[in-house]
Amino acid sequence: MRSADDAARIFPYLRPGAEIVIVGGGLIGLEAAASATVRGCKVTVVEAGPRPMMRAVPAELSHEVRLFHESKDVRFVLGRQVSELEGDGRVRCVRLDDGTVLPCTAVVISVGVSPRTALAEAAGLEIDNGIAVDRFLRTSDPFIYAAGDACAFEQVSGPRMRLECWKNAEDQGTLAGRNMLGSDEAYVPLPWMWSDQFDRTMQIAGQAGGSAEDVRRRCPDGTLLIYHLDKDQMILGISGFGSIREVSRGVRMGQLLMERGIRPGRKALADPEFDLRPLAKAAVA
């Protein structure tokens, strides 16, 4: 599943009682699983890794999402790969690498993306997990800029990063345009992504990986927010899964605290009764 046309072709198969196997437990795969389940399908997700959403989501949040899907009768088969699709002109079952056979009426394959770099390669530009650009979004040819999902940009420290998110493409496109007109602005991202699954949402802002400590805040409605801190208790990122209201409010507050360099402390972050808004407002004042 890579385009709107693909989604349109899949839609007629998502009918009540259909047995759907989804190959790939990433964001798109789980969104498809939720949509198919809501339409009355019996869904099995096959993921080669040990947990869903390995690349995009912290382990604890991944576990939370998986438990919620399982409560809706989505079945997960982890650590297995597909060896064969079997049928008679139409797929009837999926055979896994351990011999397991999963009967199905349709298969949705959602196994990740690769950056389209053919045009950049033809132009002789450097490729490094995407179109290589510096912090100003210049390619190896200083007269050519690149922005969006296909470009891998330099960070202040660490390896190049490529963000597969519309927000990144929007921000980079605007900045690249300014730099082409004579500005000299470095791209310093505050990554943000979201995914709606069933009646819940997931959002991640900042850098959720590589934290020294994670602080959990469990809201009264069951929403889980996780603050990812460095060794000095500075917030590096925040991730959440639950109600749209609590996740959106919690992640936005986490973004403000990050942007303003505020360190509320472990106890305040963990306490759902502690109002973080005055801390952010006081920093502005």
pLDDT in tens, 120-166: 999 999 999 999 999 999 999 999 999 999 999 998 777 888 988 88
> Same topology for domains 4-109 and 118-180, yes or no?
yes
**Cα distance between residue 189 and residue 107, in whole Å:** 36
Q: Is the pLDDT assigned to residue 237 strictly greater than 70?
A: yes
Under the banding of pLDDT at 50, 70 and 90, the label for residue 284 is low
Percentage of the chain modeled with pLDDT above 70 = 99
pLDDT score for 210: 76
Provide CATH code, domain 192-284: 3.30.390.30
**Cα 83 from chain centroid (whole Å):** 27
At the top level of CATH, the class of 4-109 is alpha beta
pLDDT score for 54: 87
Q: What phi, psi does 33 have (nearest 5°)?
A: -60, -45
Q: Kindly state the average pLDDT of the residues 190-218.
A: 90
Q: Kindly state the average pLDDT of the residues 35-58.
A: 94
Under the banding of pLDDT at 50, 70 and 90, the label for residue 283 is low
**Cα distance between residue 41 and residue 72, in whole Å:** 11
**Cα distance between residue 91 and residue 103, in whole Å:** 9
Q: Report how far apart, in Å, the C-alpha atoms of 220 and of each of 145, 225, 268 are.
A: 47, 11, 16
DSSP 128-165: SSSEEE-TTSB-SSTT-B--STTEEE--SSSS-B---S
| pLDDT, averaged across the chain | 92
Q: How many CA atoms lie within 13 A of 208 on its CB side?
A: 22
Q: Cβ(247)–Cβ(203) under 8 Å?
A: yes
Instruction: Return the domain boundaries, the chain.
Output: 4-109, 118-180, 192-284
**Cα distance between residue 215 and residue 225, in whole Å:** 8
Q: How many CA atoms lie within 13 A of 14 on its CB side?
A: 16
pLDDT score for 70: 98
**Cα distance between residue 187 and residue 135, in whole Å:** 5
pLDDT score for 94: 97
Is the backbone of residue 148 left (phi > 0), alpha (psi -120 to 50) or beta? Answer: left
Does domain 118-180 fall under CATH 3.50.50.60? My reply is yes
**Cα distance between residue 93 and residue 21, in whole Å:** 9
**Cα distance between residue 177 and residue 185, in whole Å:** 11
Q: Kindly state the average pLDDT of the residues 186-191.
A: 85
Higher pLDDT, 47 or 206: 47
Task: Say whether 168 sits in a helix, a strand or coil.
Answer: helix
Q: What phi, psi does 77 have (nearest 5°)?
A: -120, 105
Give the DSSP letter of residue 218: E
B/e letters for 198-225, b = 16+ CB within 10 Å, e = fewer, are bebbbbbbbbbeebeebbebebeeebbb
Task: Say whether 27 sits in a helix, a strand or coil.
Answer: helix
Closest by alpha carbon to 43, among 79, 82, 72, 9?
Answer: 72
Closest by alpha carbon to 204, among 195, 213, 192, 196?
Answer: 192
Q: Report how far apart, in Å, the C-alpha atoms of 32 and of each of 37, 62, 77, 106, 283 are.
A: 8, 16, 16, 13, 42
